[in-house]
Amino acid sequence: MDGGCRRVSAVPGPAPRPAARAPQAGRGRRARPLRRGPSTTPSERLGWFLAVAAPVVFLAVFFAWPVASLLARGLAPQGALDLSGFVEVLARPRTWRIIRQTLLQASAATAICVLLGLPGACVLYRRRFPGRDLLRAVVTVPFVLPSVVVGIAFHALVTRGGPLGGVADGALDGSVLTVVAALVFFNYGLVVRMVGTMWSRLDPRAVEAARTLGASPWRAFYTVTLPSLAPTIAAAASLTFLFCATAYGVVLVLGGTGIGTIETEIYVLTAQYLDLRAAAVLSVLQLLGIAAVLWLTERTRRASQAWLRLHLDVPPTRLRRADLPALALTLMVVAGLLIGPVVVLLARSLRRGGQWTLANYTDLSTTGGRNALLVTVWQAAGNSLRVAAAAAVIALAIGTAVSLVVSRRPRSPWLRRGVVLLDSVFMLPLGVSAVTVGFGFLITLTRPPLVLTRSWWILPLAQAVVAVPLVVRTLLPALRAIDPRQREVAAALGAGPGRVLATVDGPHLLRAGGLAAGFALATSLGEFGATSFLARPQTPTLPVVLYRLIGSPGAQNQGMGLAAGVVLAAGTAAIMLACERAQTMHLRRSREPVRLPATREERP
């Protein structure tokens, strides 16, 4: 009566022990529970505590405290709630003019980015053709270029002697149109990449079914594709509006005295008029606006992710005749809007007095005409590299600790909520402008208990605050891709927490760490918002020197500014190319099996 069934004994007694089975990471029930999550030994608890406490203390001291002090200065200047400063600042006609310009410029640039980005997303992510990868790289690079360099490039394009300098008698120089074009230059790639990534994962069978039922290509796009892309388009538009509204370096270089944003007005009120209370009020208003945009972005991002889980990756198809208009428009945008200003910057850096020359580059070892600078451009570049390297190390240390904690999946509901909260808290610096961070440093770290205004470390710390969210966003996907059962099996085989971290998490950290380091270094190297408040005249960074040169009279200073812009752009581009190389290597090696530590019996 076996019949394949297990025989049950009628004699009472202890049940037979099942045969021991090796722990498996795949299917079936485990004979014994594997170690999961943080261990319970004192040393391990201390390690996890430090991994959480150190980043939280860093964020509290160098982000929350400065921003809170800034809010207090605007809302309670005398220690008690006082909104008279808001009434005074909002009663100024200049304030409303600046707010109106900020909203109009950001709205116009966002609309143009979306209109031009949709065809680019379709061509670069849904179609396959020679040179597609190169075009995608070109579209992505402007987003990470230093804002001062972009401002100088467009200034060289529209100023007297530039290709567009004679249009309308030089009316483009210092115009709203030029500022909007520069904002589109920055954010076009953001829309293309966000929408294109989602578009590449849409199931094409829905569109094919609509076409089979007689719908034209435009009607199929309008009724099927567009509703599917709507959450991602809204998220991309929200982020684009946020970046355009908080633009600083571009507007400061191109806007002159007649055009500005809330960001530039905060700088003017602080550096020129010493009106710290009015600057704090504008910072509070900007924080409220940024919070609203981030809330909208988060809601649309969640909707996009919920839809994305319904579909699989779809390989791109060959380019069709109907795609030629979109391809032509994309090529025009890439050549005219993205490559054109950079080529003009390079060409004009090689000219002075109407002649081709390298004088602008040889003068980089001087302090400029009439000693416009206190240091040479190369000295400023060396200081920028040192500051950026220190900021990148700090950001990597903090970001790695946060990523290791946030990537865990604890069983306790309270711990899960804590992980989600920690992840959200360390994204806050992305939503607060660098100008606000720098201004907060300026009014907070000038008195005990922490005085850093004369310390060299104030710049690396401020730049690290800006770079930490980028490091976390780069490392988290790699760590979350690890199957938790790999850690469980390694622990069950006798590996301690340190060995599990080294053998399971370590390879993924190394693969994504190069990309994270590159992003942190490139971001810190071109950072201008916080640095413009905190850099000392004797030790400026390269973006600060660029802004001073382009604002100084004389052909020598202007030419040196152009040449220095090329140097900074080349350095940033080299870093980003290294990042892309690191990302490619990571993707190629991501499918390699992770080697587990040997058991005690297998060790020699």
pLDDT per residue as tens digits for the range 99-129: 999 999 999 999 999 999 999 999 999 899 9
Between 139 and 486, residue with greater pLDDT:
139
Same domain, 390 and 324: no
Mean pLDDT of 27-39: 45
Q: Measured between alpha carbons, how far is residue 336 from residues 140, 333, 342, 533 in Å? A: 15, 5, 10, 34
Same domain, 410 and 457: yes
Phi, psi of 300 (to 5 degrees): -70, -35
Within a domain: residue 375? yes
Most confident listed range (33-47, 57-71, 100-114):
100-114
Q: Are strands 317-318 and 127-128 parallel, antiparallel or unpaired?
A: parallel
Same domain, 120 and 205: yes
Q: What percent of the chain has pLDDT over 70?
A: 86
The pLDDT value recorded for residue 3 is 43
Same domain, 378 and 297: no
Same domain, 312 and 446: no
Q: What percent of the chain has pLDDT over 90?
A: 33
pLDDT of residue 349 exceeding 70, the answer is: yes
Same domain, 418 and 448: yes
Within a domain: residue 28? no
The pLDDT value recorded for residue 397 is 94
Same domain, 281 and 327: yes
User: Each residue of 571-591: pLDDT tens digit?
Assistant: 888 887 776 666 656 555 554
pLDDT of residue 10 exceeding 60, the answer is: no
Residue with tokens 């020679």: 130
Indicate the residue among 329, 350, 371 that finishes a domain.
350
Within a domain: residue 203? yes
User: Each residue of 167-203: pLDDT tens digit?
Assistant: 867 788 889 999 999 999 999 999 998 898 888 878 7
Q: Measured between alpha carbons, how far is residue 391 from residues 2, 34, 35 in Å? A: 71, 39, 36
The pLDDT value recorded for residue 19 is 44
Phi, psi of 352 (to 5 degrees): -155, 130
pLDDT of residue 514 exceeding 90, the answer is: no
Six-digit token string for 89:
């600042």
Within a domain: residue 529? yes
pLDDT of residue 14 exceeding 50, the answer is: no
Mean pLDDT of 330-340: 94
Between 578 and 341, residue with greater pLDDT:
341
Same domain, 524 and 550: yes
Q: How confident is the model at residue 23 (pLDDT cuts 50, 70, 90)?
A: very low
The pLDDT value recorded for residue 40 is 54
What would the DSSP string read from start to end of 176-209?
HHHHHHHHHHHHHHHHHHHHHHHHTTS-THHHHH
Mean pLDDT of 289-299: 77
Within a domain: residue 1? no
Q: How confident is the model at residue 12 (pLDDT cuts 50, 70, 90)?
A: very low
Measured between its terminal Cα atoms, the distance across the chain in Å is: 49
Indicate the residue among 296, 320, 350 that finishes a domain.
350
pLDDT of residue 2 exceeding 50, the answer is: no
Within a domain: residue 538? yes
The pLDDT value recorded for residue 73 is 80
Per the structure, how many domains does the chain have? 2
Domain containing 206 — which CATH number?
1.10.3720.10
Note down the domain range covering 51. Answer: 41-72+359-595
From 25-34, 208-217, 414-423, 585-594, the region with the lowest mean pLDDT: 25-34
The pLDDT value recorded for residue 435 is 85
Within a domain: residue 12? no
Q: Are strands 355-356 and 446-447 parallel, antiparallel or unpaired?
A: unpaired
Same domain, 160 and 203: yes
Same domain, 89 and 68: no
Evaluate whether 260 touches 105 at the Cβ level (below 8 Å). Answer: no
The pLDDT value recorded for residue 303 is 60
Q: What share of the chain is helix, strand, coil (3-state, %, to 5)?
A: 70, 0, 30
Query: Mean of the per-residue pLDDT values for the chain?
Result: 82
The pLDDT value recorded for residue 524 is 92
Query: How many C-beta neighbours within 10 Å does residue 29 have?
Result: 6
Q: How confident is the model at residue 295 (pLDDT cuts 50, 70, 90)?
A: confident
Same domain, 273 and 317: yes
Query: How many C-beta neighbours within 10 Å does residue 252 have?
Result: 25
Between 58 and 13, residue with greater pLDDT:
58
Same domain, 321 and 452: no
